[in-house]
Chain A
């Protein structure tokens, strides 16, 4: 499935590369920035971004691991109740402490 799907993409790109016209000029190949060359220029050079994105990614990793822990618990839940319930609640409460902390620290604000 994956091979076929990737193959479709590769075939499409190749077909377009073979069939399309090739009349590039310097102006055509400029990055889109109001007709000027980009300041700093190029991939990953002189580009700075708000730290929020980093924080969101960090939080995503934490909470996604939480989700990952929950999946086996959810699937086996009916065999483990009621013990599993209290276990899960403890885990959720621990994470909620962290969640409330980031709320109070206003990490989730984009002002």
Chain B
């Protein structure tokens, strides 16, 4: 019995640690993002509050707590309050399963909060739950812009979730397990999965950009189009919680990509020749990989314009979904007829697929750039336009 209580206490402690770490990372992510965007646009970014602007996140947090918390008259009070809590709860929980080192490497404890055999499934399920937070938030605001933003957002997120789920099937076929530890272990022995699944990785990357509502897919919060989407009626800490959920989702997506395709907490084995045991430094490698992906998220935000809504949906359904399916079938066929022997050949195939994706995205742009259905001009006029 004392053992059970000790285990419970330890996992509670780890959960609190992970949550606090994520919140700090989120706070500093906002600062780093603003500074980096500033650098990209040849301006300094926030540098007044504290040295190098390092106290800016603290100032923002304190401000958002002391702001007036308004609930619009027409809003559904309970759901309106519950929605940001759901969003942040699911976002934070999703991160807990990511392993940050081998078993027992965190002062004798396991460096993950919970470990499930169906780790990836749990993660996908939790990200789906995040959609509820956003949609309920938009619906409960009792106003039209949030509702539109929420509808767009949920349609977009569920569409790209398909691409996400399908693009890792090839990976699962190769590895044969859905637990994160198993996948990291496989990669430590056979080389990172990016080599064998580069097409799958590209599709997963695009899908996760859309999944966490980042540019070029940040339609739900397109400020210039529908005010702030589902955030329009939110103020003070509830608004901050939604933002927090978005950034935490971004961190989780980075961690998942690092774990699934880049070897997780294992560093490159080559470096062991330079400093023995270097590839096993716990947490360091995972953090480095997450930082790389976070930088990628910001970099893309500073580079690409937003897609239109219809383009976005066509892109997801007509390019990502069939290609993810094709990647799955290709991997399946390869494994069925060549076995796991010459995996490098699968890597070449994937790379060819990736190149085809790049070429195709230019050639078949017409698939999502131009609507193939045109509303009859006269009908729109008769209805008074829109």
Please choose the segment from B254-262, B292-300, B325-333 that sits at the chain A interface, where 4 or more of its residues have CB less than 8 A away: B325-333
- Would you call A111 and B373 a contact (CB within 8 A)? yes
Complex Cα distance A57/B328, Å? 23
- Would you call A31 and B143 a contact (CB within 8 A)? yes
Interface of B is mostly: helix
Interface range for B: 35 or more
Please choose the segment from B30-38, B87-95, B205-213 that sits at the chain A interface, where 4 or more of its residues have CB less than 8 A away: B87-95
- Would you call A8 and B309 a contact (CB within 8 A)? no
Complex Cα distance A2/B332, Å? 36
Interface residues of A in 1-43 (CB under 8 A from B): 1-6, 8-10, 12-13, 15-17, 19-24, 26, 28-33, 38, 41-43
- Would you call B142 and A38 a contact (CB within 8 A)? yes
Check B19 for interface membership: any CB of A closer than 8 A.
yes
Least CB distance, B79 to chain A, in whole angstroms: 8
Contact of B92 among A5, A32, A82, A88 (CB under 8 A): A5
- For residue A52, which residues in chain B have a CB less than 8 angstroms away from its CB? 155
- For residue B18, which residues in chain A have a CB less than 8 angstroms away from its CB? 1
Interface residues of B in 139-192 (CB under 8 A from A): 139-145, 147, 151, 154-155, 158-159, 161-162, 165-166, 169-170, 172-173, 176-178
- For residue A78, which residues in chain B have a CB less than 8 angstroms away from its CB? 173, 176, 335, 340
- For residue A77, which residues in chain B have a CB less than 8 angstroms away from its CB? 172-173, 176, 332, 335
- Would you call B158 and A1 a contact (CB within 8 A)? no
- Would you call A8 and B140 a contact (CB within 8 A)? no
Closest to A14 in B: B237
Closest to B14 in A: A1
Check B44 for interface membership: any CB of A closer than 8 A.
no
Closest to A70 in B: B169
- For residue A19, which residues in chain B have a CB less than 8 angstroms away from its CB? 65-66
Please choose the segment from B51-59, B270-278, B312-320, B353-361 that sits at the chain A interface, where 4 or more of its residues have CB less than 8 A away: B312-320
- Would you call B328 and A70 a contact (CB within 8 A)? yes
- For residue B227, which residues in chain A have a CB less than 8 angstroms away from its CB? 32
- For residue A30, which residues in chain B have a CB less than 8 angstroms away from its CB? 72-73
- Would you call B71 and A29 a contact (CB within 8 A)? yes
Check B85 for interface membership: any CB of A closer than 8 A.
yes
Least CB distance, A18 to chain B, in whole angstroms: 9
- Would you call B336 and A20 a contact (CB within 8 A)? no
Residues A108 and B172 in contact in the complex (CB < 8 Å), given A4-B19, A31-B72, A57-B155: no
Contact of A20 among B65, B74, B159 (CB under 8 A): B65
Least CB distance, A56 to chain B, in whole angstroms: 5
- Would you call B89 and A6 a contact (CB within 8 A)? yes
Check B109 for interface membership: any CB of A closer than 8 A.
no
Interface residues of A in 73-101 (CB under 8 A from B): 74-78, 81-82, 84-85, 88-89, 92, 96, 99
Task: Indicate the member of A57, A60, A84 with the most B CB atoms within 10 Å.
Answer: A60
Q: Which residues of A contact B (CB under 8 A)?
A: 1-6, 8-10, 12-13, 15-17, 19-24, 26, 28-33, 38, 41-44, 47, 49, 52-53, 56-57, 59-60, 63-64, 67, 70-71, 74-78, 81-82, 84-85, 88-89, 92, 96, 99, 103, 106, 108-111
